[in-house]
Structure 1
């Protein structure tokens, strides 16, 4: 089919294409309603190193804190942290089950990272993220405590508590609708072409 005749066919039977797009988008919307939504919540953390009066000391402190980011973020999914969080939240989950909900994300700032939690409840995702973050600060404080006592010069702290985000990260309704519209457009166009060829016989 030549381009002009193809364009004319689409214009003359635009209703077929429109119905196809609407039906496909309706199916896509139905799929999103059937899927269990997943919500995400983040607690922002930062590693601190006190001291650093000179430029050299400041640089060394920054380098040290960057190295600690990898170590501390790795503790987030440890049994020690997760067991304490489960006890605080009174959740009937095992540490391994909770670990499936918890990850970390390194921020652009090399001294920072996020405790990221996904769950079917935005409130629970928030509570888990904040509790894990709080337990992490406590455990790190114990690990970094000077042998002779006193306050540690290095540690991790919460700079922004997690909040309940009621916009699910999955399913992405807008994305599903866009895919549905594209599929509907292709199906509608194909139907128009087939009908034209059948009539031309």
Structure 2
């Protein structure tokens, strides 16, 4: 026999367990907010841009062949920028207590499709330090690429700067709280239905009729209710008996 659950039963389950759902959701929000605001260290990002272009020559300003060559070189340049040959010099010039591998983890290099511009981004807990690393990396790469590949086709398009009130790229407390709210609701609703599924007690006459397929002929009141009724009758009847004894 297959059991079907109506929408009304689902809503009744949610209503009955609403306090549990709210408690779990609020707990998730508070934990997420506390972790985002007080425990996680803010991470800042600074970026600079490099332009890959051929050196000045007598050739026309727009040469499709040269542009295609530059585009092919960009992938190679992206690798060279993060190589130990560049990063070790950057660390040495800035007196950083970081080796090439550690510095590599802070740097992200990429370029737009069919673009001759290389975006170099650096993340750090100190926004000024991130900007210094980005600018120094760009400068060192511009200098060293002429020795490594014997070309002079890189120029710095834009330097990294620190804003007056620069916001961290992570954590994002509002986003974390929103995610925690959704997760808390999902956990709360899931737990509510799980508890309802594990609760196999019969509470109403309708459940008896549904499970057994038989009509309910009568019901027995709880003993506790009968005791309460008897106590109430005794309290209401005792004064009259006492008055009768005094009168007699």
TM-score range normalised by the length of the shorter chain? 0.7 to 0.9
Shift of 1:197: 7.3
**What aligned pairs does 1:3-14 form with structure 2 within 5 A after superposition?**
3-11=7-15, 14=18
Moved more, 33-42 or 83-92: 33-42
Structure 2 counterpart of 1:53? 60
Task: Report the secondary structure of 2:98's partner residue.
Answer: coil
- TM-score relative to the length of structure 2: 0.65
Greater fraction strand: 1
Structure 2 counterpart of 1:66? 71
- Count, aligned residues: 192
Q: Distance in 2 between matches of 1:95 and 1:192?
A: 52
Q: Distance in 2 between matches of 1:117 and 1:28?
A: 27
- TM-score relative to the length of structure 1: 0.78
Q: In the alignment, does 2:122 pair up with 1:117? A: yes
Q: Aligned match of 1:30 in 28, 34, 41?
A: 34
Q: In the alignment, does 2:158 pair up with 1:160? A: yes
- The runs of 5 or more residues in structure 1 that have no matched partner are 146-151
CA-based RMSD of the aligned residues comes to: 2.9
Q: Distance in 1 between matches of 2:161 and 2:113?
A: 20
Q: Distance in 1 between matches of 2:11 and 2:64?
A: 65
Instruction: Decide whether the 8 Å contact of 1:9 with 1:196 is kept in 2.
Output: no
Q: Which structure has the higher relative contact order (CA within 8 Å, separation 6+)?
A: 1
Shift of 1:160: 1.7
Q: Distance in 2 between matches of 1:94 and 1:13?
A: 55
Do the aligned partners of residues 66 and 12 (structure 1) sit closer, same or farther apart at CA in structure 2, a change above 3 Å counting? same
Q: In the alignment, does 2:98 pair up with 1:93? A: yes
Task: Report the secondary structure of 1:176's partner residue.
Answer: helix
Task: Report the secondary structure of 1:139's partner residue.
Answer: helix
Q: Distance in 2 between matches of 1:54 and 1:13?
A: 72
Shift of 1:34: 1.9
Moved more, 102-111 or 121-130: 102-111
- The runs of 5 or more residues in structure 2 that have no matched partner are 204-248
Moved more, 117-126 or 164-173: 164-173
Q: In the alignment, does 2:107 pair up with 1:102? A: yes
Moved more, 159-168 or 76-85: 159-168
Q: Distance in 2 between matches of 1:78 and 1:64?
A: 22
Q: CA deviation digits over 1:39-67, x for unaligned, max 9?
A: 32221111011344186xx0111011112
